[in-house]
Amino acid sequence: MLTILQLHTTYTNEQVLMILLSRLYFNTAQKGEVQQFIHTNNIDWNRFYDMVSSHNVRSFVYNSIITEQLKVDTDFLSVLKNDSVTISIKNLHQQKFVHRLLEDFKSIGIKAIPHKGVVLANRYYTSTALRESVDIDFWVNKKDVKQLRQFFHEKNYQAKNDVDDVYLNYALFVLKEFSFKTPKDMMNVNCSVEVQWRLLEWYVGKSPDYLLFAEHANAMGLHPAFDFICVSMNHIVKEPLTRFKYLIDLACMIDSGKNKIDVTLVRGQIKKSGYDNLFDGAMQTVDNLLGVALYQNTSGSTATEILMHNVVAYPVVDSISPGNLAILKTHLVTQRSIVKKVTLVCRWMLYILLPNTEDMQTFQLPKYCLPLLFILRPVRLLGKLFTKKKQRQ
């Protein structure tokens, strides 16, 4: 684990403080040294609030401050307290719908695997309220997607990225998930429900097999080792530690389930997708910043350097998208050969040119005209690029 002095040579006061407050949760820092850091360093509390908000760790940071009774800016603490209450209410809504939907899926003969979000928080955090969860994620067998899509339509859930029936088979081939909105409850709260038939977009890498994981799932979720693989695919491969929340997720899972996580099994599955180097870099980053280690891995790497930047970056690194060059760079440096690097770039370029849901919704062509979308997509992309350029002028 890096010392405070080592952290200070690389990160700003606000970034170091976010790390130190998180260490308190894992008992890898002492209250006295954290309070001393706050007293002896100029903290821009408005900047710090924006930082912990963009990294989705407001309630986690608030918990450390309150638990240790640290002296911080009162205005900052007041806003953070209100945010934590709101986050707790949203988490309760999501918990309720996870249980409700699992029962509904069971009634129609479908086995769905809930992962990430409040499910992760409930299993690995000391309190579900400590994690900011944006949506509910279910991993399902691809053959069940059409039935689940019909279920959400019949229940009048609002579709977010749905397509017309004529494009459904194409969407199942190109996309990885459909997203729907839950109905608002009495607190006027709702959230997204993501039905995923693969963990990774195909242009990123090979996804694990759902059927293998389903064998290791029960009413509580996946076995910790398989749960860790799912979270790693999302937090390390798909979005390589682009939020500090992702680092805390991994640390909580290691801290509470270390003896149940088979490192050989986990690395083996990650390696099949071609990102074992990236995984090693992420594990080193967890150890460097939070002092929580799954296994000893002290060798430095380019992947570790990039992830050490991503995880506390402010402004944050943009979420995964085919046009995100920072994410592509992270993926490329982890590949073991020139052939794999070239293959990855080709997959990304192909994906950029493939019609997506926005193209389908924009042009609404009949099924037999689907090939025309491959011509119209570049036209639409160029139109968007021209519009943005004109707006800047």
Contacts of 256 (CB under 8 A, 6+ apart): 123, 124
pLDDT attached to residue 337: 87
User: Is a pLDDT exceeding 90 seen at residue 161?
Assistant: no
pTM of the model as a whole: 0.93
Instruction: Classify residue 116: in a domain, yes or no.
Output: yes
Instruction: Classify residue 200: in a domain, yes or no.
Output: yes
321 or 91, which is more confident: 91
**What is the residue-averaged pLDDT of the chain?**
91
Instruction: Report the range of poorest mean pLDDT among 127-131, 149-153, 295-299, 320-324.
Output: 320-324
Instruction: Classify residue 390: in a domain, yes or no.
Output: no
pLDDT digits (tens, 9 = 90+) for 182-208: 988 888 888 999 999 999 988 888 889
Closest CA relative to residue 130, chosen from 53, 64, 224, 45: 64
HEC string for 104-172? HHHHCCCCCEEECHHHHHHHHCCCHHHCCCCEEEEECCHHHHHHHHHHHHHCCCEECCCCCHHHHHHHH
Instruction: Classify residue 377: in a domain, yes or no.
Output: no
Q: How many domains does the chain have?
A: 1
Residue in this structure with the two tokens 């903290």, named with its chain if needed:
43
- Greatest alpha-carbon span in the chain: 69
pLDDT digits (tens, 9 = 90+) for 236-255: 999 999 999 999 999 999 99
Instruction: Classify residue 385: in a domain, yes or no.
Output: no
Closest CA relative to residue 333, chosen from 285, 284, 288, 277: 277
* Domain interval for residue 240: 4-354
pLDDT digits (tens, 9 = 90+) for 296-348: 875 568 889 999 999 999 999 876 565 677 888 889 988 888 998 999 999 88
6 or 335, which is more confident: 6
76 or 298, which is more confident: 76
User: Is a pLDDT exceeding 90 seen at residue 384?
Assistant: no
What six digits make up the tokens of 4? 């405070």
User: Is a pLDDT exceeding 60 seen at residue 390?
Assistant: no
Instruction: Classify residue 192: in a domain, yes or no.
Output: yes
pLDDT digits (tens, 9 = 90+) for 17-50: 999 999 999 999 999 999 999 999 999 999 999 9
At residue 163 the predicted structure's pLDDT band, cuts being 50, 70 and 90, is confident
Instruction: Classify residue 382: in a domain, yes or no.
Output: no
